[in-house]
Structure 1
Amino acid sequence: MARWEMLSNEEARRCWDQALVRFTDYSPFQTYAWGEYRRGLGWEPCRWAAFNEEGEIIAMLQGALRRHAFGIGLIWCEGGPVGDLSACDASLHKAILRTTGLKRTYCRFRCDRERHTEDALRMTAQGWTMSWSPLTTNYSMTLDLTKDEDRLLAGCERNWRRNLRRSNESKLTIREWVDPDPDEVLSVYTAMQNLKGLEEQHSREEIEELLKTLKQQIVLYRCDDDQGELLSLLGCLVLGNRACALFWATNERGRELHASYAIFWALVQHCKRIGIASYDLAGIDPVANPGVYRFKRASGAVPVEFLGEWDWASPSWLRWLGNWAIAKRNRIRQAESALNRSSKATAGESHGEGPRRSKLVVESLLN
């Protein structure tokens, strides 16, 4: 049986990322920096590692903890666990309670490894249950960047390539945004949200904390018109030879000039230059966001299903309470978004489907 231990912050700072990238299913949302980003938003990062008899790390899990009254804690884990899932048994459950000092806890993870039946059966047998009210989608699309640029372009749908050519005729300036201003980033998101009647995608606090804490892992591009006005932005998290979309927003003027096509292709070219092999486009929902799904599908990306969200609680009734609270929260947000879109349509404003809320922007159901 594996031995789970929580690493101190100093221990994790020294060795966490080096151990993480040794696993084939590593995720940028399990890095040390991502945990520190969560810390900046008021969470307590917890980093557990499973050791075998030889003292080797065979599995890892980073979670963000929120403590509440009466010894209750909420743990949200993005992108993990990684490594040997057979280690994520009752010994992990006991380690979570022991190392956090919690009396009661609700723990949910979103595992970003490709879904296989064997893994799902294993997690069920080990006391985990698929979350019946997910916070995020278990589906995404990935672009294979090991292909040369000509093959990548040939894999795009004809209309997608036509829009890319149109964007190249619009006198757009696309460049890497090395020192972004959080307020400028927020302005594009706000314009997009107002245009399409979307709920808030990122708060200013989240944007500022992301840009500060994950600066070394973020690749961010901006697209300006011929007057120097910001139209669109696109950014990804990079770890090893993988990238995952993080920022993605275009305002009304950018939509008219097909800026999203130009900036997407520029970022793809950048990722190829630095040796990225796979680009995760960060979630699809063909029903709720068909426009985003069509854009990603037409870019030549292929769909993938992740192992997704699973949870465990002690005592077990907390699991029911956690899922109920998340379901209620999701319904309220869906209703607010529907009302916003309806008001835009009534006012006669153009609107369409915006980028789906990033997988990473999920806050506590107990805030």
Structure 2
Amino acid sequence: MNAPRSFTLPCGLTADVDTVDKAGWHDLLDRFADANIYQAWAYESVRRSERDTSRIVVRRAGEAVAAAQVKIVKVPFVKLGVAYVRWGPMWRLRGRDADPTVLSAALEAIRHEYSVRRGLTVRMLPYFLTDERDTFHPLLRAGRFDRLGVETPQRTLLMSLEYSLPELRARFDQKWRNCLNRAEKNDLVVEEGTGVDLFERFIGIHAQMHARKGFVPGSDIREFRAIQRELPERHKMRVFLASTRGALAAGAVGSRIGDHGVYLPCATSDAGMPTNASYLLQWRALAWLKDGGATSYNLHGINPITNPGTYRFKAGLGGRSGRELHYLGTYQSSGPASSQALVGLAESLRRAWRHRRANAGRAHAGTSQ
């Protein structure tokens, strides 16, 4: 792990690297409207370990105005590797107008520290959507970050929460609202909270659903359980469970850090299929988000081709309050040519591994029918 250090940036700003402890980082997240679960301390420390994580803070006159958590992946015994930033940097201060000069300074700080100084290739998936492209793509290019042309940007549905709950309900698609109405008549028992015990119960129906659908999940729900243990109470994910006649029918997990909510793993058990329990849980999640002051709900990933059922569910939930968008994509600031070659090899191996997992999931589904 690199020793803490500071350096000066243009416009009178400074950057601090690895100077903030866990409690200080939690406090920093509270400052940013664009804070999110992927920038939480526990997200990388649980998944990668502290040794492989770095954090950088940009300050103006001592005040933190931008920050990013960085995952470091290095080749043993050589100074080559990749620095990954997911949904960062955070730079939109709560209660203030967004300042693009702060974003530019944050990009410069990240590039200087991890690409120039450490010789790493920096890969960044910023939390920017296609409706913001004209504003932020030029800033990223000016900061010497080029968009990767080999990937297809992920799609999502962004749901505005500017409306009251009754107004949101009226803006659901009619079929979605009908399913919610039926769920409310099914005598479902709903529990919600932040306890790890709720995660434990959710894991079972999550595994059951993926076995039924025959695909391998993109994220490990057990990692989310471990992350939950480490998050401060105010940043913990919310788990929603619905039961019918004493058996779990459905579960949903959501995150609310910063000014937006994020749709995380959800599942319906075999017993819950006829109950429409997932509709009721999302209704309860919306109430929780609204109560906490969230202004939007990112339904977090859609693909009408590979997962049409989930797409229809999310599209109906978004209704007239949702917009279908793409993320801008991954941007890269290249280190030495050797690091770039390493990145290319790693990406090839990762694609092969994902393909193998997907095939294994389909094979398992075929033998279990």
Question: Secondary structure of the equivalent of 1:82?
Answer: coil
Cα deviation, 1:145-190, whole Å, max 9, x if unaligned, reads: 2312221111111111121122223332111144233543321221
Q: 1:29 to 1:250 in 2, by over 3 A?
A: same
**SS of the residue aligned with 2:209?**
helix
Aligned match of 1:28 in 16, 37, 41?
A: 37
Post-superposition Cα deviations, 1:92-141, rounded to whole Å, max 9, x if no partner, equal 32322687xx4x4232121113332232122123221223455x954321
Other-structure match for 2:206? 189
1:72 counterpart (58, 80, 88): 80
C-alpha displacement at 1:252, in angstroms?
A: 2.4
Over aligned residues, Cα RMSD in angstroms?
2.9
| Runs of at least 5 residues in structure 2 that lack an aligned partner in the other structure | 1-9, 92-101
The AA in structure 1 aligned to 2:253 is G
Distance of 1:212 and 1:149 partners within structure 2: 31
User: Which residue does 2:96 correspond to in 1?
Assistant: none
**1:152 paired residue number:** 168
Q: Which amino acid aligns with 2:38?
A: F
Q: Residues of 1 paired with 2:109 and 2:305: CA distance?
A: 39
How far 1:329 moved relative to its partner?
Answer: 2.3
Q: 1:320 to 1:201 in 2, by over 3 A?
A: same
Of residues 309, 330, 335, the one that matches 2:330 is 309
Structure 1 segments unaligned to the other structure (5+ residues): 350-367
Structure number with the higher helix fraction is 2
AA aligned to 2:304 is P
Specify which of 5, 8, 29 is matched with residue 19 of structure 2: 8
| Distance apart, 1:51 and its partner CA | 3.2
Q: Number of aligned residue pairs: give it.
A: 339
2: CA distance, partners of 1:128 / 1:173: 49
Aligned match of 1:318: 339
User: Aligned partners of 1:117, 1:175: CA distance in 2, in Å?
Assistant: 43
The residue aligned with 1:233 is 251
Asked if 2 retains the 8 angstrom alpha-carbon contact of 1:141 and 1:297, the reply is yes
Q: Does 1:169 align with 2:185?
A: yes
CA contact (8 A) 1:74 1:106 kept: yes
1:42-98 CA-to-partner distances (Å, cap 9, x unmatched) read: 76321112234x344343221122343112233221210122321245553232268
The alpha-carbon distance between structure 1 residues 233 and 89, as it changes in their structure 2 partners (threshold 3 A), is closer
Q: Which residue of 1 aligns with 2:4?
A: none
* Corresponding residue number in structure 2 for 1:93: 111
SS in 2 for 1:311: strand
Which residue is equivalent to 1:330? 351
State the TM-score, normalizing by the size of structure 1. 0.80
Q: In 1, Cα distance between the equivalents of 2:155 and 2:316?
A: 16
Deviation of 1:270 after TM superposition, in Å, equals 2.2
The amino acid across from 1:219 in the alignment is R
Is 1:220 equivalent to 2:230 in the alignment? no
TM-score, normalised on structure 2? 0.80
- What is the alpha-carbon distance in structure 2 between the residues aligned to residue 19 and residue 259 of structure 1? 36
User: Higher mean Cα deviation, 185-194 or 207-216?
Assistant: 207-216
